[in-house]
């Protein structure tokens, strides 16, 4: 564990040097993206912390464009799966096909075998397809027939949900949502940003091409360095307090929340919040975590890990409001 200011200073210098690719990446993405800095930062956090991301937002907010552009900028293989109610697990992971000429079965790998997998409208696929995808996410491998195949790193699943239509959908169970490091709510662009998008889409014949500016090796090296970002014990205690407050709010002077919460964040919430905070510090070229790093990511880590009771729904209280109250009540170190 780092204990001296000199140790942290040396780590700062290493991260500043190793994280130089972050600025190149953001500059390259800005060629085709207007705004959406919040979403881009969360995608980079997931990439650096090796965590999958669930994106929720209405259509037309550049979710697919952002993910595709990010994969091009690091020269990674990109795969898009449009989930539908008639899909089978084999449509995701692959299957065995009989070859008559060779008189044997051959493996045909599915679209899951890519670095970036966009699972578009994941809640439109039935449970067995969702389970096949989530198993690959957790185990980082796929079994086809009797053979298991490891998925090449970096492996990142970015699933989208459309919050508008619930007809013909299969909502992800809470236990499966917990597999995602972050649930990011993508909002509309600001008015001036939308004006730039309007001009870009109506005046330009084609968007500029995104060029590879980062090697996959740089991403893998950065992942190792992210783990070494210094986190003070007070920050660790702060993370534990935030997560515990969603389980036992009365211990933190939030007794009014107890009848509104059916369950709180799991230990995976604490782990993911710590890892995400370290990745955010790396993106800021820092070798140490600040409380603001934790606070900025708390909603993304917790919003799909906190369950509301019928009483909360009847009173029209949202998860976002619960998290705001928790952040306001827990003492910041």
Beta carbons of 144 and 96 less than 8 angstroms apart: yes
For 186, the 3-state DSSP assignment is coil
- Token pair of 21, please? 């690719």
Number of neighbours of residue 318 by Cβ within 10 angstroms: 12
The single-letter DSSP state of residue 169 is: -
- Residue 73 has which token pair? 């900028």
Joined together, the tokens standing for residue 118 give 């966009």
* DSSP code of residue 4: S
Q: Supply φ then ψ for residue 183, to 5 degrees.
A: -115, 110
Angle at 171 between CA 167 and CA 175, to 5 degrees: 170
- The string over 53-92, giving b where at least 16 C-beta atoms fall within 10 Å of a residue's C-beta and e elsewhere, is bbbbbeeebbbbebbbbbbbbbebebbebebeeebebebb
User: Beta strand 307-308 with 94-99: parallel, antiparallel or unpaired?
Assistant: unpaired
Please tell me the least confidently modeled range out of 24-33, 44-53, 221-230, 264-273: 24-33
Q: Is the model's pLDDT at 270 over the cut of 90?
A: yes
Q: What CA–CA distance (Å, rounded) separates 291 from 238?
A: 8
Is pTM beyond 0.85? Reply is yes
Distance in angstroms (rounded) separating the CA atoms of residues 329 and 1 = 30
109, 90 Cβ separation under 8 angstroms: no
Q: What is the pLDDT of residues 135-187, one digit of tens each?
A: 788 888 888 877 888 888 888 898 888 776 666 677 777 777 888 999 998 88
Q: Which residues pair with 143 in a beta bridge?
A: 148
Q: Please give the radius of gyration of the chain, using alpha carbons only, rounded to the nearest integer.
A: 21
Q: Three-state DSSP class for 195?
A: helix
Q: Among residues of the chain, what percentage have pLDDT more than 70?
A: 97
pLDDT digits (tens, 9 = 90+) for 292-302: 999 999 999 99
Query: CB–CB of 117/157 below 8 Å?
Result: yes
pLDDT digits (tens, 9 = 90+) for 61-116: 778 888 888 888 888 888 988 888 888 888 888 888 888 887 888 888 888 998 88
**Does position 257 have pLDDT exceeding 60, yes or no?**
yes
Pairing of strands 116-120, 78-82: parallel
Dist CA 130 CA 121 (whole Å): 11
Tens-digit pLDDT profile for residues 5-27: 787 788 888 888 877 888 888 88
């Amino acid at each position: 564990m780092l204990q001296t200011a000199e140790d942290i200073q040396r780590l700062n210098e290493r991260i500043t040097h190793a994280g130089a690719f972050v600025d190149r990446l953001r500059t390259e993405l800005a060629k085709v993206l207007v705004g959406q800095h919040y979403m881009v930062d969360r995608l980079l956090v997931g990439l650096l912390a090796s965590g999958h991301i669930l994106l929720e937002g209405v259509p037309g907010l550049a979710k697919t464009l952002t993910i595709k552009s990010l994969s091009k900028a690091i020269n990674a293989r990109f795969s898009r799966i449009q989930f539908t109610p008639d899909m089978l697990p084999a449509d995701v992971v692959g299957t065995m096909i009989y070859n008559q000429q060779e008189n044997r079965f051959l493996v045909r790998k599915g679209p899951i075998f890519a670095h970036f997998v966009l699972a578009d409208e994941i809640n439109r696929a039935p449970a067995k397809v969702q389970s096949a995808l989530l198993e690959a996410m957790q185990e980082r491998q796929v079994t086809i027939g009797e053979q298991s195949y490891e998925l090449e790193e970096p492996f990142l699943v970015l699933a989208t949900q459309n919050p508008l239509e619930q007809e013909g959908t299969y909502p992800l169970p809470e236990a499966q949502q917990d597999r995602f490091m972050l649930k990011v709510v993508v909002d509309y662009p600001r008015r001036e940003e939308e004006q730039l998008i309007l001009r870009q889409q109506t005046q330009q014949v084609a968007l500029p091409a995104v060029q590879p500016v980062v090697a996959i090796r740089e991403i893998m090296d950065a992942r190792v360095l992210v783990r070494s970002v210094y986190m003070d014990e007070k920050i660790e205690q702060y993370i534990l307090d935030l997560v515990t407050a969603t389980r036992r709010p009365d211990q933190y002077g939030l007794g009014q929340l107890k009848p509104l919460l059916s369950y709180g964040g799991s230990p995976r919430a604490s782990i993911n919040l710590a890892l995400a905070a370290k990745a955010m510090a790396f993106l800021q070229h820092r070798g140490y975590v600040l409380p603001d790093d934790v606070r900025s990511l708390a909603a993304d880590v917790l919003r799909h890990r906190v369950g509301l009771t019928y009483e909360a729904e009847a009173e029209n209280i949202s998860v976002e409001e619960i998290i705001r109250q928790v952040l306001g009540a827990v003492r910041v170190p």
